[in-house]
A = this chain, B = another copy of it.
Amino acid sequence: MDAIKMANLTNRDLIHNCDSFPNRVSQPVAYAELLESYVLFQHEGKTLGYLLPKVVEALRELPDDWHITGSAASLASKHDTFEKRSEALKRTVEKWRDEQRFAILKGWRNELYPCYAGPKNVVFVMERSACCLFGLVTYGIHMNGYIPATDSAPLRMWVPRRSPHKQTYGGMLDNTVAGGISYPMTPYDTLVKEAEEEASLPAELVKKNTKAAGVATYFYISCSKQGGEGGWLQPEVQYIYDMVIPEGTVPKPNDNEVESFELLTVEEVKKALAAGEFKPNCALVMIDFFVRHGILTVDNEPNFIEICARLHRTLEFPLP
Contact = CB atoms under 8 A, between A and B. Distances in A.
Given A187-B298, A239-B298, A308 B25 contact: no
A311 interface: yes
B212 A298 contact: yes
A297 B25 CA distance: 27
Instruction: Name the residue among A25, A187, A211, A315 with the largest chain B CB count within 10 angstroms.
Output: A25
| Number of copies of chain A assembled together | 2
Given A239-B298, A314-B23, A316-B26, A305 B217 contact: yes
A12 to B, nearest CB: 11
Nearest to A316: B25
A172 B291 CA distance: 29
Contacts of A308: 214-215, 217, 312
Interface string A11-52: 000000000000111101000000000000000000000000
A320 B304 CA distance: 9
A211 B24 CA distance: 32
Given A24-B24, A305-B320, A320-B305, A212 B312 contact: no
Contacts of A60: none
A309 interface: yes
A293 interface: yes
A299 B187 CA distance: 9
Contacts of A306: 319
A198 B109 CA distance: 57
Nearest to A141: B298
A161 interface: no
Contacts of A298: 186-188, 212, 215, 239
A230 to B, nearest CB: 25
27 contacts: A23-B314, A25-B25, A25-B316, A26-B314, A26-B316, A119-B303, A186-B298, A188-B298, A211-B293, A211-B294, A212-B294, A212-B297, A213-B292, A213-B294, A214-B292, A215-B298, A215-B304, A217-B305, A217-B308, A217-B309, A239-B298, A292-B292, A305-B320, A309-B313, A309-B315, A312-B312, A313-B314
Interface of A: 23-26, 28, 119, 186-188, 211-215, 217, 237, 239, 291-294, 297-299, 302-306, 308-316, 319-320
A211 B296 CA distance: 10
Contacts of A304: 215
Nearest to A26: B314
Contacts of A313: 309, 314
